[in-house]
Amino acid sequence: MRGAKLLDRHVGVLKSRMGKFYPGSHVVFRGRDLLSELKDMDWLELYVFGITGRHFDPAQLKLLHAIWIYTSYPDVRLWNNRVAALAGSTRSTGTLGLAAALAVSEAEIYGGGIFVRSIDFFSRALRQLEQGGDLETCIREELATHRGIGGYGRPLVNGDERIGPLLDLAKALGLDQGPYLKLALAVEQMLLNGRWRMKMNYAALVAALGSDLGMSARELYLFIFPVFLAGMPPGYIEASERPAGTLYPTPCDGIVYDGSPRRTWHPAKPD
């Protein structure tokens, strides 16, 4: 069914399996009473329950918390934090600044988009390996098609300071033996042993750990949405406490220009 007939079936009707608000009474959140059954959840636990409909055990939740914490960099030189800080410098509201900063966090190459690319590659590679393929072929095909592998290499340095702490935590929690993580580490080793010399970055590690926790690509994508959020308010606050407009001011002689030379403008003659 399509078009007008499909729309007619939904006129005046809103059915939801996710939740409902009963004014003055209660709130249903994925079939559970939010204010009584779920009242003792911490916020992240509720957030991932809302995304997946599943409950995660304490070890899994500790790992998920760490994934967020280890990416909370309060450095306004970073592309998304800069947006929040510029909002503070121009005296915009905190909500607008943080919302805009989260929106640009979805950047395809170095933001949230790369997590999805990592999951997609791992899923395809794992299927090929299960069907008798070999890892080197998977890697070469990916590089030939996309000129890179999502989650490997890094624009600034070929290494990621978050990898060691997160791997150590996963090991301590007994969450380092999943097939996706093993695949992610095997890909890194093959890239390092070959001529590519690319190390795994945070996106690949998070994609692998999230997949081993049973998250789909869409679920992990939604989970990482606020992954940079905690690092944004400090920059916004600091910039808003300084004189307005003083964050990253750029003088005219600081701009490299190679266009048309200076020219004189004459007012248009009246018709």
**CB neighbours of 31 closer than 8 A, spacing ≥ 6?**
17
In a domain, 6, yes or no: no
In a domain, 82, yes or no: no
In a domain, 69, yes or no: no
From 192, 208, 223, the end of a domain falls on 223
pLDDT in tens, 118-135: 999 999 999 999 999 889
Q: Which two tokens stand for residue 239?
A: 């910039």
In a domain, 51, yes or no: yes
pLDDT in tens, 89-117: 999 999 999 999 999 998 877 777 888 88
**CB neighbours of 95 closer than 8 A, spacing ≥ 6?**
none
Q: Is the confidence at residue 172, as pLDDT, over 90?
A: yes
pLDDT in tens, 41-89: 999 999 999 999 999 999 999 999 999 999 999 999 999 999 999 999 9
Instruction: Write the DSSP string, 82-106.
Output: HHHHHHHHTT--HHHHHHHHHHHTT
Contact between 198 and 153 under an 8 Å Cβ cutoff? The reply is yes
Domain that holds residue 177: 113-223
In a domain, 88, yes or no: no
Q: Are residues 134 and 49 in the same domain?
A: no
Q: Are residues 126 and 218 in the same domain?
A: yes
Which CATH number belongs to the domain containing residue 181 in this structure?
1.10.230.10
In a domain, 62, yes or no: no
Contact between 136 and 224 under an 8 Å Cβ cutoff? The reply is no
Q: Report d(CA 242, CA 90) in Å as an integer.
A: 10
In a domain, 83, yes or no: no
Nearest by Cα to 74 from 230, 225, 242: 230
Q: Report d(CA 148, CA 101) in Å as an integer.
A: 26
Q: How many domains does the chain have?
A: 2
Q: Are residues 118 and 187 in the same domain?
A: yes
pTM (predicted TM-score): 0.87
Q: Are residues 130 and 42 in the same domain?
A: no
Q: Report d(CA 61, CA 66) in Å as an integer.
A: 9
Nearest by Cα to 204 from 190, 268, 42, 7: 190
**CB neighbours of 110 closer than 8 A, spacing ≥ 6?**
79, 155
In a domain, 262, yes or no: no
pLDDT in tens, 194-247: 888 889 999 999 999 999 999 999 999 999 999 999 999 999 999 999 999 999
From 203, 223, 243, the end of a domain falls on 223
Unique residue bearing structure tokens 């004459």: 266
